[in-house]
């Protein structure tokens, strides 16, 4: 993704692209509430099937407060990606400050039950990031 605030990482054949957008209409800076929507695109560029099992996020705000989030699946789903398949989803992240970062990992599992971690490289939650949503709130 070059010099954009987004990121891309490739781990064991799984490519993860991440980008976020500030939602001013959903935020209240006077009350320390800044809402960001983020888009995750995953693609199986490898030769073996992989099923997502869980996620782990490290969210750091500009006051250097770290919050970790762990849970099963993503947005209630467990993408099962054959070689060449892709999956995209949107979610949101509130921050108490005007900017921050997110990074983490997804745990995937091979057909034989072997788990492996897939990195989500650090991406930035910043007010001036390029949009990941159209003005009407639909995915670009």
Among candidate residues 61, 77, 42, the one with its CA nearest the CA of residue 124: 61
- Residue 25 phi, psi dihedral angles, 5° rounding: -70, -15
Among candidate residues 12, 21, 1, 13, the one with its CA nearest the CA of residue 121: 1
Topology of the domain comprising 7-125: Immunoglobulin-like (2.60.40)
Q: What are the residue ranges in the chain where pLDDT is below 70?
A: 1-3, 134-140
Angle CA(109)–CA(114)–CA(119) in degrees, nearest 5?
55
Q: What is the pLDDT of residues 67-85, one digit of tens each?
A: 999 999 999 999 999 999 9
* Predicted TM-score (pTM) of this structure: 0.91
| Domain edges within the chain | 7-125
Q: Compute CA distances 77 → 28, 54, 56, 72, whole Å.
A: 30, 10, 15, 9
């Amino acid at each position: 993704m070059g010099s954009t605030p987004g990121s891309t990482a490739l781990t064991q054949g799984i490519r993860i692209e991440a980008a976020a957008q500030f939602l001013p209409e959903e935020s209240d800076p006077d009350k320390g509430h800044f809402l960001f929507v983020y888009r995750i695109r995953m693609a199986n560029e490898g030769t073996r099937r992989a099923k997502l099992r869980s996620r782990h996020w490290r969210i750091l705000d500009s006051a250097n407060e770290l919050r970790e989030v762990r849970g099963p699946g993503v947005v209630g789903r467990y993408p099962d990606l054959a070689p060449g398949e892709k999956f995209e989803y949107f979610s949101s992240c509130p921050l108490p400050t005007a900017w921050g970062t997110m990074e983490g990992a997804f745990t995937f599992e091979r057909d034989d039950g072997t788990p492996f971690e897939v990195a989500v490289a650090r991406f930035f939650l910043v007010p001036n990031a390029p949009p990941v949503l159209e003005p009407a709130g639909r995915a670009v």
